[in-house]
Structure 1
Amino acid sequence: MWFVIGGVILLAVLYGVINGSRNSDPMNRKCAAEICEYLTSREEFDPVEIQAIFKEHARYQKQANHVASMVPALLINAGIPRDAAMQIYPLVKSAAAMQPR
């Protein structure tokens, strides 16, 4: 029983470490910041332009998906209402899906 509990705790710690390293990756943070700047400076959004930002930062699909998950939190911190920030997520996610694996 102790092995199972220890295994679950170990998996939770490993997930936290891996996710934290992706969040602290400077290229992921810079890419997410540029996407947020793009989204806050325009009223009409184009997934192709968001994909161009991903390409500019050489983010492949797995990294782009993680960057896409960072964008709503950055938008909320920038003063965008939570509902509006969450509605933008599918657009960014669709642009991330266009990235090569």
Structure 2
Amino acid sequence: MKFLIIGIFAAIVAFLIWRSKQNTDPNEQACAIEIGNLLKAHPDAQPQAIADVFKKHVIDQSQCKHVGAMVMPQLRKQGLKPEDARILMGQVRGAYPLVP
């Protein structure tokens, strides 16, 4: 019984990992990485500059939230503290309405 529960749990985890990799669009990932790099280099970047990155990668307004959710892990990978990353995410959210 114990092995059955462990097996089911492992299968669920493997499925979730596989599904998350299938749902990641390389263009969206590249956009999130570029926004992360922009915010790391210029923490005071204006929302218009972030919106320009969205436009460069042809991300429309309906996809902005999905891409924006990928920016936070990028900021964390670059060594920002969680509270600093949350502050910068306000600038990213401010760019959503500026994207056509």
TM-score > 0.5, shorter chain as reference:
yes
Aligned residue in 1 for 2:47: 47
* 1:97 CA displacement: 2.4
Does the CA-based 8 Å contact 2:68-2:93 persist in structure 1?
yes
State the 1:43 CA deviation. 3.7
Residues 11-50 of structure 1 correspond to what in structure 2 (within 5 A)? Answer: 20=20, 21-22=22-23, 24-50=24-50
Partner residue in 2 for 1:78: 78
CA RMSD of aligned residues (A): 1.8
Aligned residues: percent identity?
Answer: 29
Runs of 4+ aligned residues of structure 1 deviating over 2 Å after TM superposition are: 19-22
Equivalent residues of 1:65, 1:97 under 8 A apart: no
Change (3 A) 1:43 1:75: closer
- Residues 35 and 71, structure 2, Cα contact 8 Å, conserved in 1: yes
Structure 1 SS opposite 2:86? helix
Runs of 5+ in structure 2 lacking a partner? 1-15
- Equivalent in the alignment of 2:8: none
Whole-Å separation in 2 of the counterparts to 1:75 and 1:43 = 11
Deviations 1:2-22 (A, max 9, x none): xxxxxxxxxxxxxx69x8344
Give the aligned residue type for 1:51. A
Q: Give the distance between the partners of 2:43 and 2:94, measured in 1 at CA.
A: 18
CA displacement, residues 22-71 of structure 1 (integer Å, 9 cap, x when unaligned): 4x100000000000110011142111010000000000012111111111
| Displacement of 1:95 | 0.5
Structure 1 segments unaligned to the other structure (5+ residues): 1-15
